[in-house]
Amino acid sequence: MRVTARIGVVSFPGSLDDRDAQRAVRLAGGRPVALWHADADLHGVDAVVLPGGFSYGDYLRAGALARFSPVMGTVIEQAGRGLPVLGICNGFQVLCEAGLLPGALTRNAHLHFVNRDQRLRVESTASAWTAGFAEGQAVVVPVKNGEGNYVAATAVLDELEGEGRVVARYLGSNPNGSARDIAGIRNAAGNVVGIMPHPEHAVEELTGPGTDGLVFFTSVLSTLVAA
Amino acid sequence: MPAYEVVVDVMLKPEILDPAGQAVVNALPTLGLAPVSDLRIGKHVEITVEAADEDAALAEGTRMAQVLLANPVIEDFRVRLG
């Protein structure tokens, strides 16, 4: 067993929060590994974070072009074998475009870009990235997006809720019009999680609203040690 | 092979909210233009493609729409010759 888990953070052209995600991994006790969109090799990392930003300028649709990058071919393949993958904001959009998570993220219902500290309720702890929370725990994590409105067919929403795959819901006012106040979801196996708010921006008191976001990263480290 | 112009129009599905379209609906009367009851904004893609014939060109355009140009979760598309 490795002493320190290695968590890859992918940089796409237009990624903004890749350095913040690397820093969050470090603060959680992991070793961040920078991964490059054009390199299909994951360099033996134990988990992957797809960070926030505007990959490929959000051209066509947010995440639509990033989904076809060489690194994503390997991420999709490895995610199918259980590799923990966390998509944050733009990373969530990429996961939906890639078909690793159902549904899509569309323009905020009110058209405004939202940037604020957001209260969330953690709904599912049955994932690699949320195992360290208590079910129903209220947390504060910054949200900043223009296209965070989660949509899916009613049957898909019912299935997500029925299987406990809604990972987090917005508390208080819904920042983007997301269906059923959904802030994040997971796949059936629980290794792939997509979340619109930014846990990597809530990892220390000095620079964020608190340290609730750190739990996403300590959760995956604990999951990896237990595996 | 000859070149054909293929047009792909991509629209949000009717049940998907189009906030940009709604913003334009609200803006038109303030500019003194006729009030409209509905307006939806989509994408119009013009593609020049080399293909054996018109049918093959349309088939290429359809494949492009299915794979990349449209997201079937939220969008419908139509393909025609330009």
**pLDDT tens, position by position, A114-168:** 999 999 999 999 999 999 999 999 999 999 999 999 999 999 999 999 999 999 9
**How close does chain B come to A140, measured CA to CA in Å?**
27
- Provide mean pLDDT across the span A37-64: 97
List active site positions of A. Answer: 89, 198, 200
DSSP B68: I
Model confidence over A183-205: pLDDT tens digits?
999 999 999 999 999 999 999 99
CB contact under 8 A, A177 and B16: no
pLDDT of residue A156: 97
Q: Is B20 on the interface with A (CB under 8 A)?
A: yes
A178-207 exposure pattern, b = at least 16 Cβ within 10 A, e = fewer: bbebbbbbbbeebbbbbbbbbbbbbbeeee
**How close does chain A come to B73, measured CA to CA in Å?**
6
- The phi, psi pair for A85, rounded to 5°, reads -135, 130
- Cα(B1)–Cα(A65) distance, integer angstroms: 28
DSSP states of chain A as a string?
--SS-EEEEEE-TTB-SHHHHHHHHHHHT-EEEEEETT----TT-SEEEE--B-GGGG-SSTTTTGGGSHHHHHHHHHHTTT--EEEETHHHHHHHHTTSSSSEEE--TT---EEEEEEEEE----STTTTTSPTT-EEEEEEEESS-EEE--HHHHHHHHHTT-EEEEE-SS-SS--GGGEEEEE-SSSSEEEESS-GGGSSSTTTSS-STTHHHHHHHHHHHHH-
Pick the CATH number of B3-81 from 2.60.120.260, 3.40.190.290, 3.30.1280.10, 3.30.420.40: 3.30.1280.10
Read off the pLDDT band of A227 (50, 70, 90): confident
Q: Considering CB atoms only, which of A60, A96, A109 is closest to B17?
A: A109
User: How far is the CA of A180 from the CAs of A113, A153, A166, A169, A195, in angstroms?
Assistant: 20, 12, 10, 8, 14
- Provide mean pLDDT across the span A43-63: 96
Tokens of A193: 């999680």
Residues of B in contact with A177 (CB under 8 A): 17
Q: Which residue of A has its CA nearest to B15?
A: A153
**How close does chain B come to A55, measured CA to CA in Å?**
15
Q: What is the CA radius of gyration of chain A?
A: 16
Tokens of A154: 């009613």
List the single best residue of A93, A106, A156, A176 to mutate versus B (max B Cβ within 10 A): A106
Q: Considering CB atoms only, which of A97, A102, A151 is closest to B16?
A: A151
Model confidence over A4-44: pLDDT tens digits?
899 999 999 999 999 999 999 999 999 999 999 999 999 99
Q: What is the CA radius of gyration of chain B?
A: 16
- Provide mean pLDDT across the span B54-77: 97
pLDDT of residue A102: 98
Considering only CA atoms, which of B74, B36, B19 is closest in space to residue A146? B19
The residue ranges of every structural domain in chain B are 3-81
- Cα(A30)–Cα(A168) distance, integer angstroms: 24
CB contact under 8 A, A106 and B69: no
Q: Is the pLDDT of residue A3 over 80?
A: no
- Cα(A133)–Cα(A167) distance, integer angstroms: 11
- Cα(A87)–Cα(A207) distance, integer angstroms: 21
Instruction: Report pTM.
Output: 0.95
**How many Cβ atoms are within 10 Å of A166's Cβ, its own excluded?**
22
List the single best residue of B64, B66, B74 to mutate versus A (max A Cβ within 10 A): B74
Residues of B in contact with A56 (CB under 8 A): none
Q: Is the pLDDT of residue A2 over 90?
A: no
- Cα(A102)–Cα(A187) distance, integer angstroms: 8
DSSP B42: -
pLDDT of residue B19: 92
Model confidence over B3-22: pLDDT tens digits?
999 999 999 999 999 999 99
Tokens of B17: 């909210």
Q: Is the pLDDT of residue A1 over 70?
A: no
